[in-house]
Structure 1
Amino acid sequence: MRTGAVVIGGDYQGLGIVRSLGRHGVPVLVLDNERSIAAASRYTGKVVRVPGLRDDEDTLRALDGLRRRFGLAGWVLYATREETVAALSRHRADLARHWRVPTPDWDSVRYAWDKRETYRLAQKLGIGVPRSWFPMDEADLAQVDGDGPFAVKPAIKEHFFYATGVKAWRADGRAELLAAFRRAAAVVPAGEVVVQELVPGGGETQLAWCGLFRDGRPVASMTARRLRQHPSEFGRASTFVETVAAPELEGPSTRFLAAIGYHGLVEVEYKVDPRDGEPKLLDVNARTWGYHTLGRAAGVDFPYLLFLDQLGRPVPRVAARPGVRWIRLATDLPNAVVDWRAGRLRTGAYLASLLRVRTEAVLSWSDPLPALYEVALAPHLATSRGL
């Protein structure tokens, strides 16, 4: 059997990987613990559903079961979720005996996994970050300067997101800060609550540097403005994104990734602070990101480039062209209605933004079934994962 890929997680992000590889004739198996739209793609060869993929033990058991059942020696593993990244990274040496594992070692990934590590290293490297505090208890909140607004969020997202369904809470004053801290401290272990200054601005200030990084430099890259997200303030995922020219992001992104010895696909998120014009680093995603299919529309097919890299084949140096737009209508449209009702979005401006959309996250005329499947699954996805 030709060398193929196992995509772990078959939502719209996984679907993008399946289509990228399938269009190049790469065999693809989707592994998931949920009903997922990638199962309906014409490019998916096999679908295996397992009871769980939330922790290391479940993930390793599932992969061992695939190997024993199908062989798949030397196939490439693609992670789409943070907990999968952590599992592959922590057990990379053992997994690499049977698989190609593009996820880096834990010594590298831990700087993306834990925001305390992210922000400390960024500051050491001279990369701007929002003012952040890591209180161990309520008494430590006295060290937090100012009256807000603040973002109260977890250092490790997976300990928090599945329990609350959100990425962060906003606190507009000291009383709200104390209340939000207490709510967060009831969910995550002591020391994992991050209090962060909330950088002003909306989608126009949210930028990202995306790339395939290798040997201390980017091989393929894309810079994007994350104009809209769901929910609007602390988005779980981007819903409307446009490629832009933002060369100022490559320097800090390269310094950070080179410092941790990173190899693979990555998204580095920033928010430009209007008070000083400096991009402030917010997050590092050590995997494909939700809107990675924007890359293919803009000339950079990230999942396939990673596949070439893992097979030791030449990888062309490419950069995405600016001005290409991506949307995920399943979340962008409902969120636009919420923003319109709140007076944050004008109907004309929203409709105008749709005119030059180049690619949709799920809808594809050459592979239509996943879009139909998503419509059928919409009630389930809305209640289980908020889409």
Structure 2
Amino acid sequence: MEPQSRPGQMLDGKVTGVVILGGAHGTLALARSLGVLNVPVWLVSTDTPLPGLSRHVRKKFDWPGPDDASAIPFLLDLAATHGLAGALLIPGGDGEVRLVSQSVHALQPAFKVMLPAWDQLKWMCEKPLLYRRATDLSVEIPPTYRFASTDEAYRAPIRFPVVLKPNMGGGPSELARAKVIRADDHAGFDPVFGSAALEIGIDNIVVQELIPGGGTQQFSYAALWHAGRPVAEFTARRARQYPVDFGYTSTFVEVVERPDAAQAARKLLASIDFEGLVEIEFKLDPRDGALRLLDVNPRPWSWFGLASAAGLDLGAMVWEIANGRAPAPPSPARLGTAWMYLVRDMVSAAILISRGKLGIGAYLRSFASVRAWATFAAGDPVPGLMDIPVTAWRVLTRRVLRLPSRSAESVAARNQPER
């Protein structure tokens, strides 16, 4: 008789499933990429339910979340109880990235992890460290302010407008939920900075000059790295975003050539011997023509689906590497291929059209290049159909009514093994 394995366990050294922690549209795209290969995919999340509605996700588990003290014991118990031991563990959100990277050694007996340990990865995730490393490597960054106290910040001769960002994404704070807050003068800056300082501490707030211009000046490097080098990589332009001046999320992204972004990204990633999926954001400063580093996302990003649409199936490549196989050398990404988040892009386009920065004809023509959508897929329609009602419900409950999240006890109760 042939040896049998439970779902998620290794058989002859092969990983037989993937567990994705958190995330939204990038997680959905990754699940689809793996699902079409018949790879078993499980989702553990307290984030948007959309990825869990995909037919490619075998089961969704609720959990206390990456900031809960019981997160690691929960995952280890999940692996043992539900037969997921040996699965590849991929964090899909910022908080999940920190948790997995900080707990690599605790998780590795139960899961396979393709992510550097925190002593390496923190140089990409914690913005003060990231900007220090970038400066050492001669990678340009936006002018950035550091303050020792709120009084110093209130008196500082800041060159407005500025943006306030958390040291690292994820977490329940107001600044983390907003991701970026703009301030045009001290009247707008002081209360936001003071509130954030009380909530998360001054050292966890990043204040930067806002680089002029919208999404058309924002570029990204997207890649899969293994053994200290890129397995596949491409660059893209965030042609439209929401909000239109500094994006909370991308709404229309297209593949472009940007060698300077790739060169800067390779310097950063090689400096920590990076491993895994990554997207690095830059913005072109029209004042001096410098391409400045904004952020690093070592996880599936919102427009992750653009990769496979452009001919680079990063999800399939991750799966090959996890199982010890070398992916076939990829062809260059197809230039001009685009991804769209339709609902939000319509809002962004309407604002740009009203400002005279986008013509109706140009907007309609942009649809011709779209080969990937944030939620819609012909062979997996439910997430696309549920996108609008789910988004409306989340906005109502979390931002308008501010209802409390479910307790860890009720989450654990729902995840008891099936009998």
Q: Is TM-score (shorter-chain normalized) higher than 0.5?
A: yes
Matched, 1:321 2:334: yes
Q: Who is 1:311 aligned against?
A: 323
For residue 224 of structure 1, report the CA deviation from its aligned partner.
Answer: 0.4
Matched, 1:91 2:119: no
Q: Distance in 2 between matches of 1:134 and 1:384?
A: 35
Secondary structure of the residue aligned to 1:158 is: coil
The structure 1 residue matched to 2:92, chosen from 80, 87, 97, is 80
The structure 1 residue matched to 2:57, chosen from 41, 44, 52, is 44
C-alpha change, 1:151 and 1:124, in structure 2 (3 Å) is same
Q: Distance in 1 between matches of 2:30 and 2:211?
A: 33
The structure 1 residue matched to 2:364, chosen from 321, 336, 351, is 351
Q: Does the CA-based 8 Å contact 2:242-2:345 persist in structure 1?
A: yes
Structure with higher Rg: it is 2
Counterparts of 1:115-264 in structure 2, within 5 Å, are 115-141=127-153, 147-159=159-171, 162=174, 165-264=177-276
**What amino acid is aligned across from residue 43 of structure 1 in structure 2?**
H
Q: Distance in 2 between matches of 1:47 and 1:139?
A: 47
Greater Cα shift, 325-334 or 165-174:
165-174
The structure 1 residue matched to 2:290, chosen from 278, 287, 298, is 278
For residue 285 of structure 1, report the CA deviation from its aligned partner.
Answer: 0.6
C-alpha change, 1:169 and 1:162, in structure 2 (3 Å) is closer
* Deviation readout 1:224-266 (Å, 9 max, x if unpaired): 0011222223322211100001111121111111112211111
TM-score (ref. length: structure 1): 0.92
C-alpha change, 1:182 and 1:382, in structure 2 (3 Å) is same
Q: Distance in 2 between matches of 1:216 and 1:118?
A: 18
Q: Distance in 1 between matches of 2:237 and 2:32?
A: 24
**What amino acid is aligned across from residue 288 of structure 2 in structure 1?**
D
* Deviation readout 1:301-340 (Å, 9 max, x if unpaired): 1122112112211123323221100001132223434454
Greater Cα shift, 331-340 or 276-285:
331-340
Greater Cα shift, 160-169 or 282-291:
160-169
Q: Distance in 1 between matches of 2:188 and 2:174?
A: 22
**What amino acid is aligned across from residue 188 of structure 1 in structure 2?**
I
For residue 131 of structure 1, report the CA deviation from its aligned partner.
Answer: 0.8
For residue 76 of structure 1, report the CA deviation from its aligned partner.
Answer: 0.5
Q: Does the CA-based 8 Å contact 2:215-2:247 persist in structure 1?
A: no
Q: Distance in 2 between matches of 1:114 and 1:385?
A: 26
Structure 1: unaligned runs, 5 residues or longer: none
C-alpha change, 1:147 and 1:47, in structure 2 (3 Å) is closer
C-alpha change, 1:205 and 1:178, in structure 2 (3 Å) is same
Greater Cα shift, 108-117 or 287-296:
108-117
For residue 210 of structure 1, report the CA deviation from its aligned partner.
Answer: 0.7
Q: Does the CA-based 8 Å contact 1:159-1:188 persist in structure 2?
A: no
Structure 1 vs Structure 2: percent identity of aligned residues?
34
**What amino acid is aligned across from residue 92 of structure 1 in structure 2?**
V
For residue 204 of structure 1, report the CA deviation from its aligned partner.
Answer: 1.2
C-alpha change, 1:10 and 1:147, in structure 2 (3 Å) is closer
**What amino acid is aligned across from residue 91 of structure 1 in structure 2?**
S
Q: Does the CA-based 8 Å contact 2:33-2:315 persist in structure 1?
A: yes
Root mean square deviation of aligned Cα: 2.3
The alignment covers a number of residue pairs equal to 385
Q: Does the CA-based 8 Å contact 2:66-2:96 persist in structure 1?
A: yes
Structure 2: unaligned runs, 5 residues or longer: 1-5, 8-15, 400-419
Q: Distance in 2 between matches of 1:35 and 1:115?
A: 26
For residue 359 of structure 1, report the CA deviation from its aligned partner.
Answer: 1.4
Q: Distance in 2 between matches of 1:164 and 1:249?
A: 26
**What amino acid is aligned across from residue 360 of structure 2 in structure 1?**
T
Q: Distance in 2 between matches of 1:164 and 1:28?
A: 28
Secondary structure of the residue aligned to 2:219 is: strand
For residue 136 of structure 1, report the CA deviation from its aligned partner.
Answer: 2.2
**What amino acid is aligned across from residue 293 of structure 2 in structure 1?**
L
C-alpha change, 1:21 and 1:251, in structure 2 (3 Å) is same
Q: Distance in 2 between matches of 1:340 and 1:290?
A: 24
Secondary structure of the residue aligned to 1:362 is: coil
Counterparts of 1:60-79 in structure 2, within 5 Å, are 60-79=72-91
C-alpha change, 1:67 and 1:165, in structure 2 (3 Å) is closer
TM-score (ref. length: structure 2): 0.85
Q: Who is 2:407 aligned against?
A: none
Q: Does the CA-based 8 Å contact 2:76-2:107 persist in structure 1?
A: no
